[in-house]
Amino acid sequence: MTNLDVQDQTSSSISLDSVQPGESCIVSSVAESSCICQLRCLGVVEGAMLDLIRSVSRGRLLILRVDGADMALRREVAATIQVRLRSINES
């Protein structure tokens, strides 16, 4: 795998519910939904860096770290958030 392949993989957007525990990502977009205002207030905005800490309740809840604060999101809400995985060099 070349460096170009790695860059291509990290630049494509996936939904947040596809991210694995221990992975870090950057928010690409948040779909319009009934909870978009709450997400914005919690710091889940385009360009925000997120760390997926773990999933609980049989995978129905995702525990995320945003700006040093942990929060829980339902998996269906996480599916409305598009992210790209952070590369090792990205901060």
The domain in which residue 71 lies consists of 3-85
Amino acid in position 51:
D
In a domain, 19, yes or no: yes
In a domain, 90, yes or no: no
The pLDDT, as a whole number, for residue 29 is: 95
pLDDT lower than 70: segments of the chain: 1-11, 88-91
As a whole number of angstroms, the distance between CA 77 and CA 62 comes to: 10
The pLDDT, as a whole number, for residue 57 is: 86
pTM of the model: 0.80
In a domain, 34, yes or no: yes
- How far, in Å, are 3, 56, 73, 81 from residue 35 at the CA level? 37, 21, 11, 11
In a domain, 79, yes or no: yes
For the chain, how big is the Rg over CA atoms in Å? Answer: 13
In a domain, 91, yes or no: no
The pLDDT, as a whole number, for residue 40 is: 93
Question: How many domains does the structure of the chain reveal?
Answer: 1
